[in-house]
Structure formats: structure tokens, C-alpha cells
Amino acid sequence: MSAQCPACSLHALVPVHLKQLSPHKWKQFEAPVDGGMTLDTCPVCFGVWLDAGEIDALGDAEIDPAFLKTLVGQSANRMCPRGHGFMNEHMLPSLLRTPIDRCPRCKGLWLDGDERRALARSSTSEGQEDKAVHLAKRGLIWAAQVLTHLPVEVENPARGTPWAVYVTCALLVLCYVLSVEGVLIAQHHALVAGRLSIDPRSAYTLVTHGLFHADWFHLLINLYFLYVFGDNVEHLFGRLRFLLLYVGAGLLGGALELLLTRSLNMTVIGASGAIAGVTAAYLWIFPKARLLQTVPIVYVQLKIPAWVYLGIWIGFQVVMATFSNAIEFAWFSHIGGFVFGLAVTPWVLRWRRKEVAKQVRFRSAAAIFGKTPAPRRRPRPPTGQIMQGP
């Protein structure tokens, strides 16, 4: 299949090759296998295309054919990846709260990410995992999170090698080692509002302050978040645009800190402003990607959508920047970088959709008509007779 994702339009659909090992147990392979099944999925929004009969073969859910004949009464505003025009919305009232999309010609189904986890779970990597292995991994993650309190991304693996992320991480490590060895003096490259106001020649520190860190803990935390969120963002942005995002967020974050800081003598170093821009891009692209987080004190492990986790984080930055007297944290740098990421990401995604549309045979409705379909919501009850599909 050569088709653009009908939901997000940010990627061409990619094949997932499965073979059934036992009832309700499937394994993914790199290439097609005899007696197997090939699905077409979007690695960005996690949606999946199922040709007629494939969802029944997966056996994850029993779908009454009568349900698939009940139309919501409107077009899905999404194109069939097989090139058959617009799909229709259908309700599965006993299984899902939101409608699914069905092509009236080929009878294929499109499931969004949440619908895929509910109805075709065995098509996901997590759904194919052995329960004992799954529990063991969760136990290790839980133990690590009790010690570190860091989130773990479990449903959005890297696609390809994120070379821009790796090079950026290597540069940050190199600069820290050179500062520890005394080859470079971090203080000379740090951002200090008072110094810049007196000596404009130190404007270069708007760039260099993001290359140095106070200690290993400071560095490792930033590297962790850069990798967790940066690999997926780089995949969609491309290396050059990713680096421009990173540098631009660092510059705006530093400039905002310079303008709004309460302390003219505070030394600002660290890449967190630039990384905040990367996390904002991740939030815009993958709002529903779930992160594992162990809640402190009660030590309960939860799956938290990215929009919740990062929304709480940026909200905390705003509150602290507004009301806190703690000047040892560059709150405004984080906010500035985050705002930059939110501002540029929609423009980059427009370019991305156009690029993907040129690479596939069947384009999405967004690429053809220039409008992205609205987020899925539970439809209102029909006022009259429910239309019957073909």
C-alpha cells in the first residue's frame, strides 16, 4: 500500500507483518510470512488500516456485522487508503464511544490509535508481549522510577537513527568534560543579565549558555529528556529542522530569561530551554502518547498521556515564574523555549504533510483539500432514522 495516513497525514502507512502463534496471540515479523497477515499502520498517530475480514481474523473483539451497517449520518472526512474516496463513520456502541471509519466500497476499516488498542490490541507491540515479560519490565521500570521519578516512554519507539539528537548529546557531554577539565570556563559562556546589559559583546552567551551544565546530574537529566522526546520529533522534523528548532528554542528561552529575570547576577547555564522547545513539539505531535510515571509517596504506576504530563510541567513553570522567589531556576528560559516549540511546530507539520503527499500514491483528505480532520468526538444521537449503509 502506498497511502498517506488518513488521520494525521504526517506519515505514509507502513506494513506490519503478523503471524498467529496461538488463539489471540500474534507475533510481528520483519517480512511477510506464510499464513500471516499484513496490516498497514501509522507510526505517528498509531492508527491502523484493516482490510475486510482482518479484524475478525485478529480475534481481539467480536464485532456484530450489523453495527458496521449503522452510519452516524455523516462522512468521516477521511479518504480510504485504497483510493476509494471518502469513508463513512460507523458506531460500535457496545465497544467504543467514538465512531470508526469504514470504506463503503472495499469494506476496510480505519481505527485511530485508541480504537486500535481497544479492538485490535494484538496488532500493537505491547499487545503481542508475553504477560510474564510485560510484568517483569513494568517491575524494573517501577523500581527505577521510585529512585529517579523520571517518566518512561513505552508506546512511541524511535524510528530510524536520531543522529541530530545523538550529535547534540555528544556535544553537551564534550562541553561538560572540557569545563570540568578546565579547558573551557563555563562561567565565561554563561548568560548573566547584568553582564550583558553592561557589555553587549557578551551577547554570544545567548547561544553558549546552553552548552554547559552545573554538574553531572544536571547534564544527565537534560540528556534523558532530550532523547526521550527528541528522537520522535527529529523523525518528523528532519535533522536540519530539528536542529533549527533546538537552537531557536534555546535562543528565545535565553532572551526571555534575560528580559524577565528578577536577578541581574544569576548565572544561567544548561540546555533545558532548548529541550523545552523539543518537548513542546512532541506535545503538539503526540498529545496522546502515553508515559509511564510512578506517583511519589503512594508509588502507584500510571500511564499518563503526554498532554497531561507536559501540561502539568509547563503549568508549574508558569506558576513558579510568576509567584516563586527561587531565582536558582531559569523558569522564563523554559517558558520561552516551550513557546517557541509550540509556535514553529504547526508550520513544520504543514511542510511534512506536503512532503509525505508527494511520496505516496493515495493522498489524505488533508493533503488534497488543505484541512486536517477535526479530533474524533462522540457524536450526538441522531434526530431521525439511522441511515443504513451498503
| Residue 283 · residue 204 · CB < 8 Å | no
pLDDT for the residue numbered 132 = 77
pLDDT digits (tens, 9 = 90+) for 230-280: 999 999 999 999 999 999 999 999 999 888 876 677 788 999 999 999 999
pLDDT for the residue numbered 355 = 92
| Residue 176 · residue 158 · CB < 8 Å | no
pLDDT for the residue numbered 267 = 82
Q: What is the dihedral of CA 282, 284, 286, 288, to 10 degrees?
A: 130
Tell me the C-alpha distance between 245 and 207, whole Å: 13
- Of the candidate ranges 302-311, 346-355, 366-375, 381-390, the one whose mean pLDDT is the lowest: 381-390
Tell me the C-alpha distance between 388 and 315, whole Å: 47
pLDDT for the residue numbered 72 = 65
pLDDT for the residue numbered 279 = 97
pLDDT digits (tens, 9 = 90+) for 121-156: 888 877 777 777 777 878 888 788 788 788 888 778
pLDDT digits (tens, 9 = 90+) for 375-390: 555 544 444 333 333 3
pLDDT digits (tens, 9 = 90+) for 52-93: 888 888 877 777 766 666 766 667 788 999 998 899 888 877
pLDDT digits (tens, 9 = 90+) for 36-56: 889 999 988 889 999 988 888
pLDDT for the residue numbered 89 = 87
pLDDT digits (tens, 9 = 90+) for 180-189: 998 988 888 8
pTM of the model: 0.84
Specify which of 103-117, 130-144, 336-350 reaches the highest per-range mean pLDDT: 336-350
Would you say residue 360 has pLDDT above 70? yes
Residue ranges of domains in the chain, CATH in brackets: 14-128 (no CATH), 149-355 (1.20.1540.10)
| Residue 49 · residue 41 · CB < 8 Å | yes
pLDDT digits (tens, 9 = 90+) for 188-238: 888 887 777 777 787 888 889 999 998 999 999 999 999 999 999 999 999
Task: Tell me what the pLDDT averaged over the chain comes to.
Answer: 85
- Selected residue with higher pLDDT from 386 and 322: 322
CA 289 to mean position of chain CA atoms? 6
What lies within 8 Å, CB to CB, of 129 at 6+ separation is 137
